[in-house]
Amino acid sequence: MAVQITIRRVPKPVRDRLASRAALQGKSMQEYLRAELIRLSAQITPAELMERIRKRKQASPHEIPLHLILSYKDDRR
């Protein structure tokens, strides 16, 4: 279900730049901002990435010794 979002007190220069970008893409401001919000929400934040890494490490408690990693890296050169 779609919801409405209202953003108040947007500086006029910011509003004008966004309107210009929307026009250049042949979109209404609403269409442009909706697409930008969808794109922004799809990006992973550094905190989310660290949490994924932490969970993956917990799921696989086996650690590879550093010397094996380095030797494998050297073998690939």
pLDDT at 42: 96
3-state secondary structure at position 77: coil
Q: Residues 49-62: pLDDT tens digits?
A: 999 999 988 888 77
| Contact status, residue 22 vs residue 32, Cβ threshold 8 Å | yes
Q: Residues 2-45: pLDDT tens digits?
A: 899 999 999 999 999 999 999 999 999 999 999 999 999 999 99
pLDDT at 72 exceeding the cut of 90: no
Higher-pLDDT residue of 40 and 65 is 40
pLDDT at 77 exceeding the cut of 80: no
Kindly report the length of the chain: 77
Q: How far apart are CA 19 and CA 14, in angstroms?
A: 9
